[in-house]
């Protein structure tokens, strides 16, 4: 076998190539490691956390053990799940308006350079001013608390969608633009069949960032709004629990917020992959 390989390297691909085997093994290991390693880290962290609390006999109002946090999560589930729903509603609402507003403004910007030149700087100003500095004003002028929260979360979330989509709409291939012009495309046709598809990968990139940001926006806005009542989100539960030194509940609420963020990111990543998998470089697997 080795003699044949040495004599005729052209047939080497029919034989088992050790390099290729190693590559396949490496790929397989990487795939498994992708899931197993983070899971392992979580398990170890929880174990160490539990031991630290137990060995040092830390009181639960300083650092509760993981068991206590789970207990709080189960015991307060009724209250926490209601709050989770409120936070989710604000987050989703803000993300939705961010998509509509961001894409809408981006389309408007690309239709007219004058509009873009006039308003883009103000979009930037809105973005770079910390939301905690604007929020108190918003809650003074907006009576409805829900609307105020939505506005705050929207301000945080819409910019990545706006800037990414604007970039995407403007980066349609120049030769394709010429081609559309030769074939007599109307402004609407150019937008619908050339610019929007070109902008899709950029938009989806912005969307993934905006998903996380709208959750952050919702939480921060709630802190600033700071009022309680029935329709309180997770951020308010954390504030409230901290006043009462109910640290396990703080941890439980925090856990829910983090989990929500991860799930939003995962869903948006999936949406992005599904929309681009047929044609875009970012979603293609390399064959060699």
Partner 1 sequence: MADGSEASPAPVGEDAMLSRPKLLSMSHVDKIFGRDVVALKDMNLDVRVGDFISLLGPSGCGKSTALRLISDLIHPTGGRIKWEVEKEPGSLSVVLQEPTLMPWATVEDNVFLPFRMQGKSKRSVISDIEEALALVGLEKFHGAYPRELSGGMKMRVSIARAMVTHPKLILMDEPFAALDEITRFKLNNDLLAMKEKIASTVIFVTHSVFESVFLSDRIVVMAARPGRVIEELTVTEPYPRTEDFRTSADYAAHCRRASDALKHAMELGQ
**19 or 287, CB closer to partner 1?**
287
Report the nearest approach of partner 1 to the CB of residue 179 (Å). 6
**270 or 284, CB closer to partner 1?**
284
**143 or 287, CB closer to partner 1?**
287
Report the nearest approach of partner 1 to the CB of residue 113 (Å). 19
3-state DSSP assignment of residue 217: helix
**78 or 184, CB closer to partner 1?**
184
Please give the structure tokens belonging to residue 139.
């809650």
Question: How many C-beta atoms surround the C-beta of residue 131 within 10 A?
Answer: 20
Report the nearest approach of partner 1 to the CB of residue 284 (Å). 7
Residues touching partner 1, count (CB under 8 A): 20
3-state DSSP assignment of residue 277: coil
CA atoms of 148 and 140, how far apart (whole Å): 9
Report the nearest approach of partner 1 to the CB of residue 153 (Å). 31
- Determine, following the binding rule CB under 8 A, whether residue 194 of this chain makes contact with partner 1: yes
The structure tokens 């946090």 sit at 69
Report the nearest approach of partner 1 to the CB of residue 74 (Å). 48
Among 107, 185, 209, 254, binds partner 1 (CB under 8 A): 185
- Determine, following the binding rule CB under 8 A, whether residue 184 of this chain makes contact with partner 1: yes
- Determine, following the binding rule CB under 8 A, whether residue 75 of this chain makes contact with partner 1: no
Query: Quick one: which of 170, 193, 196, 168 has its CA closest to 183?
Result: 193
| Residue 269 neighbours by CB under 8 Å, 6+ apart | 208
Which run of H or E residues covers position 242?
helix 234-243
Angle between helices 77-111 and 113-128 (to 10 degrees): 150
- Determine, following the binding rule CB under 8 A, whether residue 189 of this chain makes contact with partner 1: yes
3-state DSSP assignment of residue 287: coil
CA distances in angstroms from 286 to 159, 178, 280, 281, listed in the order given: 32, 31, 12, 9
User: In the range 262-281, which residues lie near partner 1 by CB under 8 A?
Assistant: 278-280
Site string for partner 1, 143-182 (x = CB under 8 A): ------------------------------x-xx-xxxxx
Site string for partner 1, 14-53 (x = CB under 8 A): ----------------------------------------
CA distances in angstroms from 65 to 45, 54, 74, 76, 260, listed in the order given: 12, 8, 15, 17, 22
Residues making contact with partner 1 (CB under 8 A):
173, 175-176, 178-185, 189, 193-194, 197, 200, 278-280, 284
């Amino acid at each position: 076998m080795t003699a044949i390989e040495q004599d005729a390297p052209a047939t080497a691909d029919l034989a088992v190539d050790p390099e290729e085997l190693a590559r396949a093994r490496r790929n397989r290991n990487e795939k498994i490691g992708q899931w197993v390693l983070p899971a392992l880290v979580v398990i170890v962290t929880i174990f160490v956390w539990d031991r630290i609390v137990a060995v040092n006999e830390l009181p639960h109002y300083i650092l509760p053990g993981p068991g206590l946090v789970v207990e709080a999560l189960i015991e307060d589930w009724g209250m926490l799940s209601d709050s989770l729903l409120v936070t989710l509603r604000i987050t989703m609402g803000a993300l939705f308006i961010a998509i509509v507003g961001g894409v809408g403004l981006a389309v408007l910007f690309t239709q007219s350079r004058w509009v873009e030149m006039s308003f883009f700087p103000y979009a930037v100003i809105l973005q770079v001013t910390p939301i905690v500095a604007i929020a108190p004003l918003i809650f003074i002028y907006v009576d409805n608390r829900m609307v105020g929260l939505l506005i705050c979360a929207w301000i945080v979330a819409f910019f990545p969608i706006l800037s990414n989509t604007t970039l995407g709409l403007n980066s349609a291939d120049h030769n394709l633009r010429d081609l559309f012009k030769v074939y007599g495309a109307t402004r609407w046709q150019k937008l619908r069949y050339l610019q929007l598809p070109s902008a899709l990968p950029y938009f989806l990139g912005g969307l993934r960032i905006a998903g996380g940001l709208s959750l952050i926006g919702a939480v921060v806005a709630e802190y600033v709004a700071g009022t309680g009542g029935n329709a309180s989100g997770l951020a308010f539960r954390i504030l409230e629990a901290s006043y009462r030194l109910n640290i396990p509940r703080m941890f439980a609420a925090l856990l829910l917020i983090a989990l929500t963020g991860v799930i939003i990111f995962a869903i948006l990543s999936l949406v992005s992959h599904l929309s681009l998998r047929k044609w875009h470089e970012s979603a293609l697997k390399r064959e060699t």
